[in-house]
Structure 1
Amino acid sequence: MNRAPSSVWRNPVHFLAFGLGSGAAPWAPGTAGTAAAVIPYLLWIQFLSPLWFIALLGLTFVVGVWLCERTSEDLGVHDHSGIVWDEFVGYWLTMFLAPQGWEWALVGFVLFRFFDVLKPWPVKWADRRVAGGFGIMVDDVLAGIYAWLGMQILMRLW
C-alpha cells in the first residue's frame, strides 16, 4: 500500500510531482497517475498542433526533472511510488501524433502502462542506474517511446 506524505496537499511542488494528487492513490499510483494524465490529453492536448505538442513535451519534461528531483530530495526517497509526473509526460509522449478521440487515448493508456510495467531494455537499465530527477523522468520517457512506436504501428494497421 502506498502512503503519500501529507506535504502532497500542502506543497505545490509535491502536489505537481504527485500528478495533481493522483499519485496519492493507495494502490497502483502509476496507473492512477497515467489515468489522470488522460484527462488533460482529452480536454486540450490532443488538439495541439505537432509543434505545440513537442513544445509541451519539452517543457513538461524539463519542469518534471526539477519537480521530481526536488520532491524526491524533500521526501528523502528516490522515486517515491507516488511521484507520477513522469507518467504524465510518458503518456503524453505516447500520444504524440495519435488520432484524436477517447478510443485512441485508451489504446495509448494500455500501451504506456504495458511498457512502463514491463520495462524492456533500456527502460529497466535507466530505472536502476540513472539518478536524480532526470533518472525519475527518463525511464518513463523511454517507456513512452516504446508505447509511441506501438501506437504508430497500430495506427498504420488499423
Structure 2
Amino acid sequence: MLPLWHPARIISTGVYVGHLPGPAGTWGSAAALVPAWFIRDAGGPWALAAAAVLITLIGIWASGLYAGAMDMKDPGSVVVDEFAGQWFTLIVVPNELAWFAVAFALFRLLDITKPWPANWADRTLPGGFGIVIDDVIAGLMGLVFMGALIELW
C-alpha cells in the first residue's frame, strides 16, 4: 500500500476523491467537472484537450503504480481515469451548466456500459494503461456524441 502522501496515490485517487463512500467512478467524474470548467474557461477547448492528454499520461503512471502496490488489477479507488475520460468528453462542450450536465451523464453511461472497443481495452490491456485507456476511449466516444449533439442543437 502506498502511503497517503505518495504522488501516485494522490493522483490516481483524484486527490482522495476515490476514497469517498459510494460510487467512486461517479464521484471522480463529478469532481473532474470543476477543474475542466476552469481549464476550458482560461484556455479554451485546446487547453482542455492538452490537459486531457496530460492527465491520461500521468494517470497511466500513477494508477499503474498504485494498483501494483495494492496487488489489484483496477482498484475501485482509482478515479484518475474518470478525470481523463470526462475531460475528453468535455472538450467541445461550452462552459454552460446544462451542457456540462449532459456531458457528465453521457460519459457516465459510456463508462458504465463500456461499448466496444472500451470493453475490449478494459478486459485485455494491462497495468495503468488498461486502467486508464478504456475510460479515454469512452471519453472520446462522448466527445464525438457531444460534438454531434451540439452541432444539431
Same fold (TM over 0.5): yes
CA distance in 2, matches of 1:123, 1:6: 28
Provide the residue aligned with 1:96 in structure 2. 91
1:60 alignment partner, one of 55, 60, 64 = 55
Provide the residue aligned with 1:73 in structure 2. 68
Deviation at 1:54, TM superposition (A): 2.5
SS at the partner of 1:49?
helix
Is the CA contact (8 Å cut-off) linking 2:88 and 2:136 kept in structure 1?
yes
What is the RMSD of the two structures over their aligned residues, measured on CA atoms?
1.5
Cα deviation 1:25-73 (Å, max 9, x = unaligned): 221100011011011122x122223332232122111111101111111
CA distance in 2, matches of 1:108, 1:154: 10
SS at the partner of 1:82?
coil
Deviation at 1:15, TM superposition (A): 1.7
1:45 alignment partner, one of 39, 43, 46 = 39
Provide the residue aligned with 2:138 in structure 1. 143
Deviation at 1:76, TM superposition (A): 0.9
The alignment's TM-score, normalised by the length of structure 2, stands at 0.92
SS at the partner of 1:77?
coil
CA distance in 1, matches of 2:64, 2:106: 26
Runs of 4+ in 1 over 3 A off after TM superposition: none
Provide the residue aligned with 2:108 in structure 1. 113
CA distance in 2, matches of 1:119, 1:157: 25
The alignment's TM-score, normalised by the length of structure 1, stands at 0.90
Deviation at 1:12, TM superposition (A): 3.0
Deviation at 1:6, TM superposition (A): 8.3
Cα deviation 1:103-155 (Å, max 9, x = unaligned): 11111100000000011111111100001111111100011011111111210
**5+ long unaligned stretches in structure 1:** none
Identity %: 36
SS at the partner of 1:121?
coil
The AA in structure 2 aligned to 1:15 is: I
